[in-house]
Amino acid sequence: MVANPILYIALPLFTAFLVPLLAKLWKPLVRIVPGLVLAYLAIMSVVLMQQVSPEKPIIAMIAGWKAPWGINLVFTSFSGFIASLISILAFFIWLYSFGFKKVEFDDAQKYFILFMLLTAGSIGVVLTGDIFNMFVFIEITSLSAYALTAFYKGRDGAEAAFKFLLIGSFSSIMLLLGIAILYTYTGTLNMAHLALLMPQVPMHAKITSFLLFFVALGIEAEMFPLNGWAPDAYSQAPGPIAASFAGILAKAGIYALIRVSYTIFDLGDHGGFELLLVMGLITMVVSELVAMRQENLRRMLAYSSMGQMGLIMIAFGLGTKEGIYAGLFIMFNHAVIKSLLFLASAYLVYYTSRKKISDLDGFGKLLPLTSLLFGLGAFAIVGLPPFSGFWSKLSLLIATANSHMEFVLATVLAVSVIEIIYYFRVLGRLYFRKAHKEIKVRKPTWNSVVTMIVLALVIIAVGVHPDFITGLLHNAATDLADKADYIQKIIPDLFSQTLN
Amino acid sequence: MIGAAIYAIITKDLIFATIGTSLISLALSVIFYLLHAPDVALTEAAIGVALSTIVFVIAVRNTKRYEED
Amino acid sequence: MNQILTYSVYGSAILVMLIGIYAVLTKKNLIKIVIGLSIMDSGFNLLLVALGYIKGGTAPIFSPAVAGKDVLMVDPVPQALVLTAIVIGFGVTAVALSLVIRLYRKHNTIKIDEIKTLKW
Amino acid sequence: MKKLVIISLLLVLGYSLMNTFSDIEFGKKREGISSYFLEHSPDDLQVANTVTAIVVSFRGFDTLGEVTVLFLAATAMGTILFRRRSKHTGLNPQRKSPQASRIVQAAGKLLFPAIMILGAYVFIHGHLTPGGGFQGGAIIATGFLLLLISYRQFKVEHKYVTWIESLAGLSFVTIGLLGMILGPHNSFLENFLNVGSLNDLLSGGVIALVYIAVGFKVGAELTGILDTLINIRETGDID
């Protein structure tokens, strides 16, 4: 009761409906209460992660109906890992934005409601075991993302949000078409049941619906060439929201993509994984090349983020257990490190509306701590030891080498060099240039300093002692790789019927 | 219904285009009823025909009425 | 006969959807684009309900008139899904239109080429 | 040129969809989970309208999500349009648009109660006849729309809308959480009341309650959305 996956959704929604009433009681409550809820969810994640194991997933029924008839939430080692990552990160991003002086009261209320629902929607996408319910949660996530993108009115937020909304609507219609095809051929909507009945779907329908899903979820997962929305949304949204796009929204998107290609469809050996691999390669190379040419710090980080998503797709596209392990490791690192980079960069470009990299000269002396943390994040993301990024990149390289994909290996290495070049260009500006005259800086507030330091400590801790999370990652990889086991755990009766 | 859809996208007057979309919804709601989906028909009638149209009309009133090339 | 019916029903639903997508991709006027989105949704809704139709079936309601009898009913699941899709579509349309109004206030135009940052 | 590319892309999409769906004969019965719903909705839940049973019970989580989407849309529109609430809100707004004609006003006055009763009927009988929370809520919003356009000075009290919206949302989630405590399987949104008998007004247990909460919530949300849009002018510039 106190630790149940349902609460991930029910509690934020309850609070979202409650906050407008709380605002009438005592105004600071609208900032505090969402934080308490997110803190509770973060603690609950730790508790649930200790209970769950690949042999024993936690399955929560809704309205007392067993799968495949009712909707259920499935907290396995894999989905639970991502959900916990999202919920813990969300708590820290809340902590960072707690002291926001820029937003007035009325907006603060909406900001925290929207942020909480963004988190709840993303966790819903990850945990749900029903494909149409996933669509509903994707819509919740996207709507709050549109509103948050347009949050600051001084910037071009509305333009970015409209672009995002158009592409997002395409994504949802494609997703709905894919769902309609699957439903008519199998008569079910539960993911495990779909996976079980997949052999009876004719090949051409299977391919059409797989491609529809692939395009729709590729939009959410920032896959090239469907990621036109991302750089604008990242650069126009408030700083902490850009961090949560990288750490929360994109994670939910890539999770859905992986779940669909690994569990529901059995096309892995018929080109499904190769498609993921190739698209990942293209995404990575193009984004990193574009990132190198960016003048705007936020856009540079956004393109770098897409490059990392490409890296994750490559890892999962290998289709081996080692690849899954590497992909999960990169997901974890990307969530933590990219959030740190976005959060730190929010202070670096606080007073410059252009957010130009060339305006950053000499910030190393003006904002020593923030610059240091930014530098640490940059070192970690390009994969230098002794930070956590090193281990994830290493595991990816080993996985590609073991799959005999020398070309992929070489490309990943070459792209890492590009990454090093553009990140070090920023660091060079920060530390080896003289500051412009009369530059205004904003000192970070205590809560944002705490947030950034905690994230930095995680990066260092995992870098020095990767065993902190390797166990969890191994469990998650085992869990995802074994599809029959997933089906059997969720719909045991139907599964044994089919076997006989 | 297809005619209404085509009309809605080619006409230059946005108010008429809006009326075109509401005609689509109206036709849709009749078809839903014929397909034995009264629940959906009722929803489409209330949301598609009434509310959606009014939202479009308000948006047009707050912007420009005619589409120019 | 049935084949023709199959083609014409699904065909018109898909056609309506394609008209909507075409409007979204080619139109320059922001409100027209949003109208395209709503047409697109309508086409999909029709398709899904048509997929759930069963010939000779009745509405899936156990009213007193059919109580106790063994009747064939149309598939209720697509209807429930379409119900959800209609409401979500309305929410998205409303948000899109409010963005359009805000863009108009800022740029005094709703033509997509005159709003520089919207190009891609 | 660009149009040609788009048209050919659409033709490819249309062809592949048609190719997929033409295998499925129109109007033919297929196997699937729906037969389970048709069996259990009248037997276990005593709900006559199967669509309602699916929307509220079997797929109740979708409905919760859907209500949230509307709530989000209302919040999002507030964020997008009402930045920096100006001080003169509510103080003698000078509307530019003229008054509606007397006929419209009289008709509005006459129709409003009828529409309200219809809306309430639709969502109270959601488990028996076609309709339910969404439809009823939308009908109620149409009633308010009528007042908003016929009486220019009519203002929806934001305070009440917020209260109704929040309380209805809270009761939905609370009913769900009560199901976790009282229900036989301890699962969210589970029925914990007596289900009554088929085609009675008091049947379906929790389903009727949930749909009434949904009706209030949707009605309040849609009214709020319309009110936000209609009153943009008087609150003046957003920039």
A41-86 pLDDT per residue, tens = 999 999 998 888 888 888 888 877 777 888 888 898 899 999 999 9
- In-domain check, residue B69: no
Distances from the Cα of C31 to the Cαs of A173, C24, C37, in angstroms? 19, 10, 10
D135, D140, D221, D235, best to mutate vs chain B, most B CBs in 10 Å: D135
Give me the pLDDT at residue A127, please.
Answer: 92
Asked if pLDDT for residue A105 goes beyond 60, the answer is no
**Domain residue ranges in chain C:** 2-118
Using an 8 Å CB-CB cutoff, list chain C residues near D37: 76-77
CA pseudo-torsion sign A109, A112, A115, A120: negative
- Give the tens place of pLDDT for each residue, A274-297: 888 999 999 999 999 988 888 888
Give the distance from residue C63's alpha carbon to the nearest chain A alpha carbon, in angstroms: 23
- H helix or E strand, kind and range, residue A60: strand A58-61
Q: Please name the residue of chain B whose CA is at the shortest distance from the CA of residue C13.
A: B2
Please state, for a pLDDT cut of 70, what percent of chain A lies above it: 95
Pairwise CA distance, residues D19 & D17, whole Å: 5
Check CB contact of A136 with chain C, cutoff 8 Å. Answer: yes
Tell me the two tokens of residue D11.
């033709």
Q: Which residues contact D117 (CB under 8 A, 6 or more apart)?
A: none
pLDDT (0 to 100) of residue A255: 92
Q: Could A158 and C106 be called an inter-chain contact, meaning their C-beta atoms sit closer than 8 Å?
A: yes
* Phi-psi group of C108: left, alpha or beta (phi > 0 → left; psi -120 to 50 → alpha; rest → beta): left
Using one digit for the tens of pLDDT, what is the confidence trace for B3-25? 888 888 788 888 888 988 999 99
**Residue A81 neighbours by CB under 8 Å, 6+ apart:** A49, A328, A472, A473, A475, A476
Q: What is the 3-state secondary structure (H, E, C) of A239-283?
A: HHHHHHHHHHHHHHHHHHHHHHHHHHCCCHHHCHHHHHHHHHHHH
Name the pLDDT band for A212 (thresholds 50, 70, 90).
very high
Residue A456, C-beta contacts closer than 8 angstroms, at least 6 positions apart: A340, A373, A376, A377
Look up the ipTM and state it.
Answer: 0.90
pLDDT at A437: 65
| Residue to substitute from B13, B25, B40, B64, interface C, most C β-carbons within 10 A | B40
pLDDT score for A448: 85
Query: Residues B20, B6: contact at Cβ < 8 Å?
Result: no
Contact D83, A107 (CB under 8 A): yes
Q: State whether B46 and D229 contact (CB < 8 Å).
A: no
Mean residue pLDDT across chain B: 85
Q: Which domain holds residue B31?
A: 2-62
Each residue's pLDDT, cut to its tens digit, for chain C (120 residues) gives 677 877 888 888 899 999 999 888 888 888 889 999 999 999 999 999 888 888 777 777 777 766 666 677 888 888 889 999 999 999 999 999 988 888 888 888 777 777 766 555
What average pLDDT is seen over chain A? 86
Most confident of A323-332, A466-475, C71-80, D155-164: A323-332
With beta carbons under 8 A apart, name residues in chain B contacting D233: 62
For residue B68, tell me if it sits in a domain.
no
Mean pLDDT of chain C: 83
Q: What is the C-alpha separation between C9 and C2, in angstroms, rounded?
A: 11
Given this model, what pLDDT does residue C28 score? 83
Q: What pLDDT is stored for residue D239 in this prediction?
A: 40
Contact A355, A431 (CB under 8 A): no
Which one is predicted more confidently, C36 or A352? C36
**Mean pLDDT over residues A117-128, rounded?**
92
Name the pLDDT band for A88 (thresholds 50, 70, 90). very high
D5 touching A, CB under 8 A?
Answer: no
Q: CB-CB: which of A166, A176, A177 is closest to C33?
A: A166
Average pLDDT over residues D103-110: 80
Token pair 């796009």 is at which residue?
Answer: A245
In this prediction, residues A329-346 reach a mean pLDDT of 90
Question: So what's the pLDDT on residue A273?
Answer: 87
Residue D198 DSSP one-character state: T
pLDDT at D235: 46
Judge whether residue A495 has pLDDT over 90: no
Confidence band for D91, pLDDT divided at 50, 70 and 90: very low
Q: What is the pLDDT of residue A369?
A: 86
C49–B40 CB contact, under 8 Å: yes
**Residues near A94 by Cβ (< 8 Å), separated by ≥ 6?**
A34, A35, A38, A112, A115
Q: Is residue B67 part of a domain?
A: no
In this predicted structure, the answer to whether residue D4 has a pLDDT above a threshold of 90 is: no
pLDDT for the residue D190: 76
Tell me whether residues B28 and C111 touch, CB distance under 8 A.
Answer: no
Q: Which of C32, C52, C90 sits opposite B51 (nearest CB)?
A: C90
- Residue A104 confidence (pLDDT): 55
Q: What is the predicted pLDDT for the residue at C68?
A: 62
Q: What span, in angstroms and rounded, lies between the C-alpha atoms of C86 and A68?
A: 24
- Radius of gyration of chain B, Cα coordinates, nearest whole angstrom: 13
pLDDT value at position A173? 92
* pLDDT for C118: 54
C2-118 CATH: 1.10.287.3510
Is a pLDDT exceeding 50 seen at residue D86?
no
The tokens of A338 are what? 């990219």
User: How many structural domains comprise chain B?
Assistant: 1
- How confident is the model at residue A140, as a pLDDT? 93
Q: How many CB atoms lie within 10 A of CB A56?
A: 11
Q: What is the predicted pLDDT for the residue at C90?
A: 92
pLDDT at residue number A57: 85
For residue D31, CA distances in Å to A182, A188, A273, A459, D221 come to 13, 9, 31, 51, 38
What is the residue-averaged pLDDT of chain D? 77
Q: Given D51, D131, D222, which is nearest B51 (Cβ)? A: D222
Q: How far apart are CA A380 and CA A304, in angstroms?
A: 13
Neighbouring chains to C with at least 3 Cβ pairs closer than 8 Å: A, B, D
Partner D contacted by C64 (CB < 8 A): yes
* Contact at CB, B39 and D131, closer than 8 angstroms: yes
Which tens digits make up the pLDDT trace of D166-214?
888 888 888 888 888 887 777 777 777 776 676 677 776 778 888 888 8
Q: How far is CA A484 from the centre of its chain?
A: 26
Which chain D residues are within 8 Å of B39, Cβ to Cβ? 49, 51-52, 130-132, 135
Q: Which of C24, C103, C120 sits opposite A158 (nearest CB)?
A: C103
CA–CA min distance A136, chain D (Å) = 6
CA distance C58 to chain B (A): 6
**Dist. CA A362–CA A436, nearest whole Å:** 8
